[in-house]
């Protein structure tokens, strides 16, 4: 359905998703305000203790795995660089805006986590990927006697937001991808576009590939929550791959092309390279932790003691690594074939 809507056009959907997107932001802000009001205004006891022991992180495999989920929040930030010329003040204003936005969003994240901890018991949130957001709002609304109405309203808002996000992320990456790559890498059939600029053959191929990718992990799923956890891990880890290429490119440019003229420069050459290497190491570490399942779960599956309902970690590992190798390998083969074709054509022209 998402592919069909993407091919036919999403203009009609944008009006709905714009309203739903604003409503979603307001929902988050209202939740934070009301959660603090329930505890500090109505005098209700917090559902979870908010102290140093509670907020102190446990540096285990799960903690580092979920870091990929947090870093995924910046996914897409690299694409807004095309709007630098549209901002008054140029690159410096753009960088300041990005930093300010990050601080604000990070602050909302922190306040949201604290608000949830004040209202919702920990056992309600434990591995609750399918109904977590509804349980959270229902728990808050129960303090005002309107949990049923709020749950339905939140479900409606999430429906429109997620439909819009699904359609946008179905069409946008494909359109950007086939608008940037040179002609001839993937052939004329898959790159063919309609009058609206939509590569509809590529969208159909993408729908087939994604459907297969969803079916495979579903075969070994123990429950809907474990299935969603697997999908989140896969999405978070693969979303970091473009950032890894950006960091490598940045380090190389500061190393070999530091004298290149630019409007903004992050520190000296050594400082810029050091920051780039540090971020690259962090992303590689997080990527590894989110791709490879917890070793204790792998051992449990090998010993036959894996709990019922838990996704098989070996299957997840093979799926994550195998998918990356297969798709990156396919892209490398296509690129090498394109370069050979270009070399042959260039040689023919010279002769």
Task: Give the pLDDT confidence of 86-117 residue by residue, as tens digits.
Answer: 667 777 777 788 788 788 878 888 888 888 88
pLDDT at 186 over 80: no
Higher pLDDT, residue 75 or 206: 206
Res 296: pLDDT: 83
Query: Which stretch of DSSP H or E encloses residue 156?
Result: helix 147-180
All structural domains of the chain with their residue ranges: 12-168
CA dist 225 and 128 (Å) reads 6
For the segment 30-56, the average pLDDT, to the nearest whole number, is: 83
- Mean pLDDT for the stretch of residues 204-219: 71
CA distance 225 to 129: 5
**38 Cβ contact partners less than 8 Å away, ≥ 6 residues apart:** 44, 118, 119, 140, 143
Q: CB-based burial of residue 36 (10 Å sphere; 0-12 exposed, 13-18 middle, 19+ buried)? A: middle
Task: Categorize the per-residue pLDDT at 64 as very low, low, confident or very high, splitting at 50, 70 and 90.
Answer: confident
Q: Residue 37 — very low, low, confident or very high, per pLDDT cuts 50/70/90?
A: very high
pLDDT at residue 277, rounded to an integer: 92
The CA-based dihedral angle spanning residues 67, 76, 258, 180, taken in that order and rounded to the nearest 10 degrees? 140
| Poorest-pLDDT segment among 20-24, 82-86, 241-245, 344-348 | 82-86
- pLDDT band with cut points at 50, 70 and 90 for residue 196: low
Q: Residue 221: pLDDT band by 50, 70, 90 thresholds?
A: low
């Amino acid at each position: 359905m998402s592919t069909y809507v993407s091919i036919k056009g999403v203009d009609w959907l944008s009006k709905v998703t714009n309203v739903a997107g604003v409503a979603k932001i307001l929902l988050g802000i209202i939740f934070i305000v009301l959660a603090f009001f329930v505890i500090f205004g109505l005098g209700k006891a917090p559902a979870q203790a908010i102290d140093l022991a509670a907020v102190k992180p446990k540096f285990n495999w799960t903690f580092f795995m979920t870091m990929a989920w947090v870093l995924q929040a910046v996914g897409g930030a690299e694409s807004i660089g095309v709007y630098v010329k549209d901002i008054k003040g140029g690159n410096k204003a753009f960088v300041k805006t990005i930093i300010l936005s990050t601080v604000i969003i990070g602050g909302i994240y922190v306040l949201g986590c604290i608000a949830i901890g004040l209202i919702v018991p920990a056992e309600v949130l434990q591995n609750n990927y399918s109904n977590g957001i509804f349980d959270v709002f229902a728990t808050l609304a129960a303090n005002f006697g309107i949990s049923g109405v709020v749950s339905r309203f939140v479900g409606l808002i999430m429906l429109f937001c997620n439909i819009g996000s699904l359609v946008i992320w179905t069409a946008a990456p494909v359109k950007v991808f086939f608008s940037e790559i040179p002609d001839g890498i993937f052939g004329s059939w898959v790159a063919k576009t309609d009058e609206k600029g939509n590569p509809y053959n590529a969208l159909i191929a993408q729908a087939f590939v994604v459907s297969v990718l969803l079916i495979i992990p579903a075969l070994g799923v123990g429950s809907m929550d474990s299935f969603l956890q697997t999908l989140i891990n896969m999405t978070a880890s693969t979303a970091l791959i473009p950032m890894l290429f950006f960091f490598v490119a940045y380090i190389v440019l500061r190393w070999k092309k530091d004298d290149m003229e630019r409007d903004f420069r992050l520190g000296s050459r050594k400082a810029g390279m050091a920051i780039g290497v540090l971020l690259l190491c962090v992303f590689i570490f997080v990527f590894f932790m989110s791709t490879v399942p917890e070793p204790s779960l792998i051992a449990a599956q090998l010993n036959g003691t894996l709990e019922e309902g838990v996704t098989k970690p070996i299957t997840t590992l093979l799926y994550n690594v195998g998918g990356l190798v297969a798709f990156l390998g396919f892209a490398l083969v296509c690129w090498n074939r394109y370069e050979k074709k270009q070399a042959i054509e260039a040689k023919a022209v010279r002769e």
